[in-house]
Chain A
Amino acid sequence: MGPLPLDCGAELSPVELAYETYGTLNADASNAVLVCHALTGDQYLASEHPVTGKPGWWTRLVGPGKPVDTDRFCVICVNVIGSCMGSSGPATVNPATDAPWGMDFPVITIADMVRAQALLLDHLGIEKLAAVVGGSMGGMQALSWPVLFPERVEASLVIASAARHSAQNIAFHEVGRQAIMADPRWRGGAYYADNEAPASGLAVARMAAHITYLSEAGLTEKFGRRLQDRDAKTFGFDADFQVESYLRHQGISFVDRFDANSYLYITRAMDYFDLADQGDGSLAQALAKAKARFCLISFDTDWLYPTAESRRIVHALNAAGAEASFVELSSPFGHDAFLLENPEMDRVVSGFLGNGGG
């Protein structure tokens, strides 16, 4: 597919897009729902991940009879460009050199990801989405969709997300990027030839980010100051505490399934994100272009994309006269709550997507 003109001025051609679909597209292609994945997510929304063998990342929300009902909808999930699960990214081949792009891959934005998804919909013959759904970075795409393509979206569901990256969001991402680039094996991103990837740097980046996905209360409840498989402190720098051991495990298991350069590119795209850019600096003006219904959900212990950010979007939607719903749900699990069991969220999602006659 392609060519795809990018925000940075470059053009990506050809564009490779890896995607999965669940459910059946109806005759007039009016039941398509696009689910957008988060930073380290992928297209394996509701089916087994080929690398980890784990079930899809949102199987609790998407499936037959579930709130995003694959008996009713044809659900599509596309690996974002810049990522590493089959879509064009730094690890794919640059047609100009026949070698992996590495850091020659152009810097992409959230809007570029959305425009790439639109190319796929063109290819699939889907003119209009019944809904676009996403959490976290997926929510940024879901929020951008009706602004960039007002005629192509009927409803937008944005969960645990924001209309822009805050200084704190950018700061945490910068820690992660510096950890990767400080790893001697990173070598300016040209590590594909000998397959010696900057795994330690990427693991540290994941560890730092993982803390931001949890809540302090959640960490305290899960680990407290408990020691890992030992009765006393060792007076050394091994993982004495359970929380250390847990974070190390998160870091190590992440590097098996994710590319360090993709992590750099996608975090950059998120940092550059401010939807107000689409409205001459005004979020309300940007959202005034949309014709979709909106539903926003935040979680009370999410300090990465706190409720105030969702409220800011709701205020702008109200000012724009858009049809909007918003609720802050309660969960002890911080930002991660959007991926976890939450009956109230199921009820809200189900109602918004019009299940059971709504």
Chain B
Amino acid sequence: MMADLRPDLAVIYDQIAPNSRVLDIGCGEGTLLAALRQDKAVDARGLEINPGKVATAMGKGLSVVQGNADTDLADYPAGGFDYAVLSQTLQTTDHPDRIVESLLRIGERAFVSFPNFAHWRIRMALLTGGRMPVTRLIPERWYATPNIHHVTIADFEDLIAERGWQVEGRWFLSGDTTTGHAMGNLLAEHAVFLLQG
């Protein structure tokens, strides 16, 4: 099961304790939730904006609500989950900072993963090409991309410091493998943070 997971989801999957309560925001077709439910007996819930993906996740018997992270998190009670997960969705939201606040209200802990816009390949593309980069993790051109708030690891760490969130773990990924923290903002294609409020 784990081999099928996207690398950032595999990191999150590894960290989540058995029998915990997990809300996956932007859960897509429920790949992570299904793996957690099957292997770790997790009480798995999801929120997803795309109705086709919601139907597919529900077809697997998962509890997924069609909704929008920007507007629908307010209804969830504080501390209702052990973990709130936001994978590769932060950069698509209207108010990423408020979303992370919501995650930390709803979950005891929050996983946030995002593509790092300061990866050297993106820097090079912008420097040499002078155009918004199109990469494996950012595959759409500027007018078609759902990513409206591009963020780098350094930007996110600044936000963490400003808001006083606690970092329990951070994982930097390049390709399908984790990389060291040294020069992470240059070398990591994407990052996973485990936060506590």
| Shortest distance between the CB of B155 and any CB in chain A (Å) | 31
Name A345's closest neighbour in chain B (CB-CB).
Answer: B55
* Known A348-B55, A351-B58, A352-B58: A325·B77 in contact at CB below 8 Å: no
Assess the B77–A327 pair: CB atoms within 8 A.
no
How many chain B residues sit at the interface, stated as a range, is 20 to 34
Q: Mark B53-64, 1 if CB is under 8 A from A, else 0.
A: 011101111111
Q: How many of A's residues come within 8 Å of B, CB to CB?
A: 25
Confirm or deny: A29 has a beta carbon within 8 angstroms of a beta carbon on chain B. no
Assess the B59–A350 pair: CB atoms within 8 A.
yes
* Known A327-B54, A328-B51: A319·B77 in contact at CB below 8 Å: yes
A298 to B58: give the CA distance in the assembly, Å.
14
Assess the B63–A319 pair: CB atoms within 8 A.
no
| Shortest distance between the CB of A51 and any CB in chain B (Å) | 36
Confirm or deny: A326 has a beta carbon within 8 angstroms of a beta carbon on chain B. yes
The answer, among B51, B62, B80, for a CB contact under 8 Å with A325, is B62
| Shortest distance between the CB of B28 and any CB in chain A (Å) | 14
Residues in A with CB closer than 8 Å to B54 are 325-327
Confirm or deny: A324 has a beta carbon within 8 angstroms of a beta carbon on chain B. yes
Residues in B with CB closer than 8 Å to A325 are 54, 58, 62-65
| Shortest distance between the CB of A184 and any CB in chain B (Å) | 49
| Shortest distance between the CB of B182 and any CB in chain A (Å) | 42
A325 to B80: give the CA distance in the assembly, Å.
16
The answer, among A295, A321, A330, A352, for a CB contact under 8 Å with B77, is A321
Chain B binding surface SS class: mixed
Confirm or deny: A358 has a beta carbon within 8 angstroms of a beta carbon on chain B. yes
The answer, among A314, A319, A329, A352, for a CB contact under 8 Å with B65, is A314
Name A358's closest neighbour in chain B (CB-CB).
Answer: B61
Confirm or deny: B142 has a beta carbon within 8 angstroms of a beta carbon on chain A. no
Residues in A with CB closer than 8 Å to B56 are 347
* Known A315-B75, A318-B76: A352·B51 in contact at CB below 8 Å: no
A358 to B38: give the CA distance in the assembly, Å.
10
Residues in B with CB closer than 8 Å to A327 are 51, 54-55, 58, 64, 66
Confirm or deny: A256 has a beta carbon within 8 angstroms of a beta carbon on chain B. no
Confirm or deny: A354 has a beta carbon within 8 angstroms of a beta carbon on chain B. yes
Assess the A323–B63 pair: CB atoms within 8 A.
yes
Assess the B65–A324 pair: CB atoms within 8 A.
yes
| Shortest distance between the CB of B26 and any CB in chain A (Å) | 15
* Known A324-B65, A354-B61: A329·B75 in contact at CB below 8 Å: no
* Known A319-B77, A348-B59: A329·B51 in contact at CB below 8 Å: yes
Assess the A348–B58 pair: CB atoms within 8 A.
yes
Confirm or deny: B119 has a beta carbon within 8 angstroms of a beta carbon on chain A. no
| Shortest distance between the CB of B66 and any CB in chain A (Å) | 5
Assess the A321–B59 pair: CB atoms within 8 A.
no
Q: Mark A318-354, 1 if CB is under 8 A from B, else 0.
A: 1101011111111000000000000010011011101
Q: Could you list which residues of chain A lie within 8 angstroms of chain B, going by C-beta atoms?
A: 293, 295, 311, 314-316, 318-319, 321, 323-330, 344, 347-348, 350-352, 354, 358
Top 10 closest pairs, chain A to chain B, by CB: A358-B61, A351-B59, A347-B59, A315-B75, A318-B75, A327-B54, A348-B58, A326-B65, A351-B61, A327-B66
